[in-house]
Structure 1
Amino acid sequence: MLSQPEIAAELAARQPNFSLSRALYCDEGTYAADLEHVFYREWLFAIPACELDRPGAYATLQVGAYPVVITRGNDSVIRAFHNVCRHRGQRLCSKDHGHTPKLVCPYHQWTYDLDGKLQYARDMGEGFDAGKFGLKKVHCVDLGGMVFVCLADVPPPIAELAKPLMSYLAPSGLKDAKVAFSSSIVENGNWKLVIENNRECYHCGGSHPSLCRTFSDNPKIGAMDGPHSASDEILAHWTRCEGAGLPSRFVMHPTSQWRLARIPLLNNAESYTMSTKAAVAKRMGAMPFNDAGSLLFFHYPNTWNHFLGDHAIVFRVLPISATETQVTTKWLVHKDAVEGKDYDLETLTRVWLNTNDEDRLVVEENQKGILSPAYEPGPYSMIQEEGVVQFVDWYCRLMEGRLSPRPAMAAE
């Protein structure tokens, strides 16, 4: 198990544009450092806001050692808390999601309002101050219908993401959506391998026959250097979409932590379906046409997303161990779309259920190979794997900065 100075040495020794060392993918010390310096300090995508469809709705997630519960209060505000009773530490909510008028500890029935205030604690005696034992808050923001949480005491700035994301998501009307289907799988691979696999389509032609009916494996689709590198087809798509009120052009944060861009699907396909036609009769929000392509949005370290004319698909990645990762996918449709009339689940979900399972197999085989003592880092294709290089560089810069020893205080 590597120490943090040893992890820093592994990062410093890496060869640019090559995959990471075995220890950076597999070592338990690296996993612990990834939690401490990445997942416990960065904004993480948690849930689509529409999942909390009314006051009292809640959802839970596990981030490393931290169980978190997210609620919609009676004032309709979405809040997040550590899912830990302030009495003796019992987890308050054990289900993935549900509805409750109050948060009641199942152990001794300490009862909290949906805003985290302790309302009831039986037989605690005179002098007990309930005001000192409210639930511990987790930073939480709703950006255009996507709820992000941050476990840090002081979270990093999010304003640079908030403005463009809310603008780009506005036509999709996520506040008027609902979760039509949810899937959660465990991939037996390191979380970085899961993200890396998503950041390239070098493997798509050989692995994703369902997805490749509609999604192009042209590497320019994922170009990292912006509009000037885009093809005429993409530029024409942006012009058409923006003329209809859909923000579309490439925008990326200076650190490359997130990116937004609307891309066309193959051959004027309308949606990620086997027929290439729309899966849902009722469009999302104010989307003007079915063949608007897909608004692609990723945010490191734990989400990528697709927003189409007829539905949206949001993905959440959470590490479980050094070699296990939970991937949760939710399909969103207009809240008034009726299953069996406006859409059927098989048509809606088939392409990405297939793709997720195919990606799981790819990641697991990748992890098995990296676990071999014979593994050594190999070169990335700068034509096909530019997105992977960009993610790996982001991760390494972040970790190098946070693992660097702090300057010693000058002697007085």
Structure 2
Amino acid sequence: MTALTSTTKTLDFVQKRKPRHALPRELYSDDDIYREDLEQLWHKEWIFAGHTFEIEKQGQYLTLQIGDYPIVVVRGADGLVRAFHNSCRHRGSKVCQEANGKTAKLVCPYHKWTFDLDGKLLFAGNMGSEFNKDEYGLKPAHCEVVESYIFVCVADEAPDFDAFRQAVSPFIAPHGLNDCKVAFESNLVEKGNWKLVFENNRECYHCDGSHPELLNSFVENLSVAGVADNEDPELEAFWDRCEAAGLPSRMSMDEENGQYRMTRIPLTEKAVSYTMDGKPAVARRLDQSGVENIGALLYFHYPNTWNHFLGDHALSFRILPLGPRATLVTTKWLVHKDAQEGVDYDLDHLTRVWLATNEQDRQLVEGGQAGIISPAYEPGPYSDVAENGVCQFDDWYCETMRRKLAN
């Protein structure tokens, strides 16, 4: 199928979506539409890769696959964080094969071409006297950092990043993520389209029947769940208390196209963290506000990350598409860098709620994918009360794809 036909098909199904309804079946399963998702979104937008404290030392690196592009993010000798296409300039082999590691130089395992941490080619054996090493450095990818979050864009020209940086920085900064470490990491492959994974995150309509562990502490506040501006005196009082302590809390969002949003929500009564008993999971706090119960700061950035920040720890979630019906979900539990396992936190107490929740969400996503591929599937309407968030995601997807495909 030609690129023009693929574009036409995708645009046709995007335009067929009824307002405030789920997406047509093909947008969750069709191979050609998945290709357009990669080309128009994943290969052109800023993608969350990982955290700077994961590559704190010179030569530390992490790798990820953004659609068709293998990427390596590495800390240079000058302390800068850079991203490169993880493809040797000789015959294309992946230079860094592991998910993360530490190395003095980036050495391709195939023929030992050796690159400096800034991407320059240092050694290429048996290439003759006419060979010019300066022409064969690793190809760079766009890389930006905001409050420990590393974002990568593989497009030739990256979209603006500054607006997002300015919006999100005041919210994250008080939580001290630059002084964190990863206490635990989970990687889960969900056999569902990436849009189903994000849709599932954007509503808690399903929580009562699916997430008993999470509901010990989390409660969805419908005033901030979607895009509606509903007055809630208790929420306003909570925001006032947190903001007086230096913690931005009132909703801030991308007014232009809805790609990102930040807001803080209170937890259930007496709960201060995502634990089975609602008590702190980590003895050492991240913030310096002096407020015992700061609820949970939530932020998302489409198409691949949502995040939760509490008083004692934070969680970052990253999704990466593996195919039309498969998505990698990576969850990282972040604690203060000086917190010691077995002393300041118990790993089971820290991780039990979201390990259970992630597994439950995997089953929901896979059940949704299995039903959606049925020829009998017909998109249903969204709840005006409980599904404004998921509707907002679908609106963003359709409007973004329509704008990109029409050009």
TM-score, structure 1 normalization: 0.96
CA distance in 1, matches of 2:292, 2:42: 36
Q: Deviations over 1:77-112 (max 9, x none)?
A: 111000011111110111111111111111111111
Q: Give the aligned partner of residue 23 of structure 2.
A: 20
Matches within 5 A, 1:105-124: 105-124=108-127
CA distance in 2, matches of 1:277, 1:357: 22
- One-letter code aligned to 1:170: A
CA distance in 2, matches of 1:91, 1:285: 40
CA distance in 2, matches of 1:383, 1:170: 32
Matches within 5 A, 1:144-159: 144-159=147-162
Q: Give the aligned partner of residue 73 of structure 1.
A: 76
**Among 393, 403, 407, the residue aligned to 1:401:** 403
SS in 2 for 1:166: helix
Matched, 1:236 2:232: no
Q: Give the aligned partner of residue 57 of structure 1.
A: 60
CA distance in 1, matches of 2:302, 2:27: 17
Report how far residue 238 of structure 1 moved.
1.0
Q: Give the aligned partner of residue 374 of structure 1.
A: 376
Q: Give the aligned partner of residue 253 of structure 1.
A: 254
CA distance in 2, matches of 1:230, 1:91: 53
Q: Deviations over 1:103-124 (max 9, x none)?
A: 1111111111111111111122
Q: Give the aligned partner of residue 198 of structure 1.
A: 201
Q: Give the aligned partner of residue 169 of structure 2.
A: 166
CA distance in 2, matches of 1:115, 1:290: 44
SS in 1 for 2:279: coil
Q: Which portions of structure 1, spanning 4 or more consecutive aligned residues, are displaced by more than 6 angstroms?
A: none
Is residue 84–residue 91 contact of structure 1 (8 Å, CA) maintained in 2?
yes
Is residue 283–residue 290 contact of structure 1 (8 Å, CA) maintained in 2?
no
Matches within 5 A, 1:206-355: 206-226=209-229, 229-254=230-255, 255-355=257-357
CA distance in 2, matches of 1:286, 1:75: 31
Matches within 5 A, 1:26-41: 26-41=29-44
Is residue 201–residue 219 contact of structure 1 (8 Å, CA) maintained in 2?
no
- One-letter code aligned to 1:283: R
With over 3 angstroms needed to count, the CA separation of the structure-2 counterparts of 1:214 and 1:230, relative to structure 1, is: farther
Report how far residue 268 of structure 1 moved.
3.5
Report how far residue 285 of structure 1 moved.
4.5
CA distance in 2, matches of 1:115, 1:230: 51
SS in 1 for 2:269: helix
- One-letter code aligned to 1:234: L
Q: Give the aligned partner of residue 409 of structure 1.
A: none
- One-letter code aligned to 1:359: D
Is residue 193–residue 363 contact of structure 1 (8 Å, CA) maintained in 2?
yes
With over 3 angstroms needed to count, the CA separation of the structure-2 counterparts of 1:287 and 1:336, relative to structure 1, is: farther
- One-letter code aligned to 1:267: E
- One-letter code aligned to 2:57: R
Report how far residue 230 of structure 1 moved.
4.3
Matched, 1:359 2:361: yes
- One-letter code aligned to 2:173: A
CA distance in 1, matches of 2:35, 2:268: 41
TM-score, structure 2 normalization: 0.97
CA distance in 2, matches of 1:383, 1:161: 28
With over 3 angstroms needed to count, the CA separation of the structure-2 counterparts of 1:231 and 1:321, relative to structure 1, is: same
Q: Give aligned-pair identity as a percent.
A: 53
CA distance in 1, matches of 2:189, 2:18: 30
Q: Deviations over 1:219-247 (max 9, x none)?
A: 22413135xx2422221111111111111
Q: Deviations over 1:169-188 (max 9, x none)?
A: 11111111001100000001
Is residue 31–residue 324 contact of structure 2 (8 Å, CA) maintained in 1?
yes
- One-letter code aligned to 1:253: D
Q: How large is the Cα RMSD of the aligned pairs?
A: 1.2
How many equivalent pairs are there? 403
Q: List runs of 5+ in structure 2 lacking aligned partners.
A: none
Is residue 204–residue 217 contact of structure 1 (8 Å, CA) maintained in 2?
no
CA distance in 1, matches of 2:298, 2:266: 10
SS in 2 for 1:201: coil
Is residue 242–residue 291 contact of structure 2 (8 Å, CA) maintained in 1?
no
- One-letter code aligned to 2:310: L
SS in 2 for 1:267: coil
CA distance in 2, matches of 1:402, 1:171: 36
SS in 2 for 1:126: coil
CA distance in 2, matches of 1:142, 1:336: 23
Matched, 1:388 2:390: yes
Q: Give the aligned partner of residue 104 of structure 2.
A: 101
CA distance in 1, matches of 2:190, 2:25: 18
Is residue 16–residue 24 contact of structure 2 (8 Å, CA) maintained in 1?
no
Q: Give the aligned partner of residue 47 of structure 1.
A: 50
CA distance in 1, matches of 2:226, 2:15: 27
Is residue 285–residue 334 contact of structure 1 (8 Å, CA) maintained in 2?
no
Q: After the TM superposition, which of the residue ranges 160-169 and 204-213 deviates more from structure 2?
A: 160-169
Matched, 1:8 2:19: no
CA distance in 2, matches of 1:291, 1:73: 39
